[in-house]
Amino acid sequence: MYIAYDMKNGVEYAKLVRSVRHGKNVSKEYKNLGRVIDKEKNIFKSRELGIYQYDLANDYYDKNPDWSGSEAPVEYVESKDTRKEKLILDFGDTFFIDSFIHGNGLSEIIDNCGVHNKDTLYSMICYYILSNTANCHAKTWWEGNFARMRYPMATLESQRVSEFLAELGSETCYRSFFRAYAPYISDTVDGDNILIDSTGLPNNIHFPLTAISNHNGDINNEVRLIYVTQQSTGLPIYFRYCPGNVIDVSTLTRTIHELKNHGVNTKFSILDAGYYTADNIRDLYHNGISFVSRLPEKMNLYKDLVAENLDSLESKENLVRYNGRYIYIKRVECNVVDDFKGYAYIGLDISRKEDEDKKLFQRADDQKLTNEEVYDKLRHHGLFVIVSSRPMATDKILPTYYTRQQIEQIFDIGKNYADMLPLRVQTEETFRGHLLLTFIACVILKMIQDKLKPTKYNPISMFMNLRNQKCKVYATELLTTEATKIMNDCYKLFKISCPAEVSLKRG
């Protein structure tokens, strides 16, 4: 990569030249840097950036150069075709995302990542939200979108994107982002109550993180991705990853300790049964972290609690209603682990018991079950046990525990709308950069989704409508097309003002 120079009408201009290999063929790609102001210091002037300094070694554009040259920069002379239309671009979708990021204080957090080319970072965030195609198509998308005017110095060639992901995935950028993000999420609401769960990212990439996983009987070649979300808002707080053959129970303690080092002091956690072990629960007690978790059926505590309370479970005082279903729930005090006191909620889901009873009756003859065997199985249908370190009313325990479904919604957003899958990376650094981009996209999409809940729109339908708002690019400004009623409704809901024109004069 090098800088080449041309003379046009007595004025010297610079351009960036890159060699790109396509199989056995090598071609050159050119990018205009603008008029030369100081050739020795690589200071140039362009319509998009004004006066700036270019760092060739790091591919970095400094928009505030330390330049005090005596020669005043020559102003561009507007030609007769100043009003000649040059481009028509998709406008509304990227304009909305950019306005949302800056209007909600997310730009300061994103900037804290510390990558050299912020235009590439913001372009890729928009690309992950708006497109589900491979990163090799990012430049094609950018060329037809308002992003090329809003983030003009983005470098989105396939190789440059891979280099960017590796930079973003560095430990320095990773820590810098979460160091800025943790105070933001903590200030959103009071309290640090969290939900923890994991999901598999199936892939056939040949790197150490991909391993065979047997998760609840589902066997895949995958990486395990662990997300932590805030109970009150459902917003993701943090993510970790580990090889696919690492079981969930071994990741809980490390996840909580990493959260603490990033400034999130967990007070209350809601866990799936996959994280329940005596060691994990003991560690939660020692660290003063309250919890709610489903108790696995294989645990001796589960068997003892059911045996002691089954006969007295179906009584009027234990009947509660949850989500249109009727359930018997009995609360008892118990030693959860060692001498640590807690509370167990033994439950009987009537609807689930009826379903399981019918299935048992259908297979009883085929399996030649005796009446005694059928009776014993019937006794345990529909049962579950939830344990908590805090006392709760029996009609509150299920709504509290099932807030963990929010984390499933985050996984759904990530996999279906934020380009989490399929994985198209080759190294751990680019993999982590990809996950951090996905995490940022998930935060933005979750906030947008929550705001849209009272309306008939969802993020996909909103962005599809906003994409239909175009802009016409001229030499010194761009003009936006008229917004439809749906577009105006969306802008109004998020308190975003759409301009009729945007000046392209800078510096």
- Per-position DSSP letters for 438-469, written without gaps between them: HHHHHHHHHHHHHHHTTSS--HHHHHHHHHT-
b/e burial code for range 308-326 (CB count within 10 A of at least 16 → b): ebeeeeeeeebebebeeee
pLDDT-flagged residues of the chain (< 50): 71-80, 189-191, 507
Give the pLDDT of residue 40: 86
Domain presence at residue 338: yes
* Domain end residue (candidates: 356, 387, 418): 387
Domain presence at residue 354: yes
Domain presence at residue 126: no
- Which of helix, strand or coil describes residue 330? strand
Is residue 147 within 8 Å of residue 154, measured between CB atoms? yes
Q: Which residue has the tokens 């009272």?
A: 454
Calpha distance 115→165 (Å, rounded) = 10
- Per-position DSSP letters for 71-95, written without gaps between them: SPPPPPPP-TTTTS--EEEE-HHHH
The 3 state secondary structure assigned to 239-269 is EEEEECCCCHHHCHHHHHHHHHHCCCCCCEE
Domain presence at residue 372: yes
Domain presence at residue 395: no
Domain presence at residue 72: yes
Domain presence at residue 406: no
* Neighbouring residues of 59: CB distance < 8 A, sequence distance ≥ 6: 1, 116, 117, 155, 160
Domain presence at residue 340: yes
Q: Tell me which residue range forms the domain holding 350.
A: 297-387
Q: What strands lie across the sheet with 60-62, from one edge to the other?
A: 2-8, 11-22, 25-38, 43-46, 50-55, 60-62
Q: Which amino acid is at 194?
A: I
* Domain end residue (candidates: 77, 95, 123): 77
Picking from 209, 212, 205, the residue whose alpha carbon sits closest to that of residue 225 is 209
31: phi then psi, degrees, rounded to nearest 5: -140, 125
| Number of separate domains in the chain | 2
What pTM was estimated for this model as a whole?
Answer: 0.81
Tokens of 97: 């995302």
* Domain end residue (candidates: 351, 366, 387): 387
Is residue 270 within 8 Å of residue 195, measured between CB atoms? yes
42 HSE (CA, 13 A, CB side):
17
350-364 helix and 371-379 helix, angle to the nearest 10 degrees? 160
Give the pLDDT of residue 78: 47
Give the pLDDT of residue 77: 47
17 HSE (CA, 13 A, CB side):
9
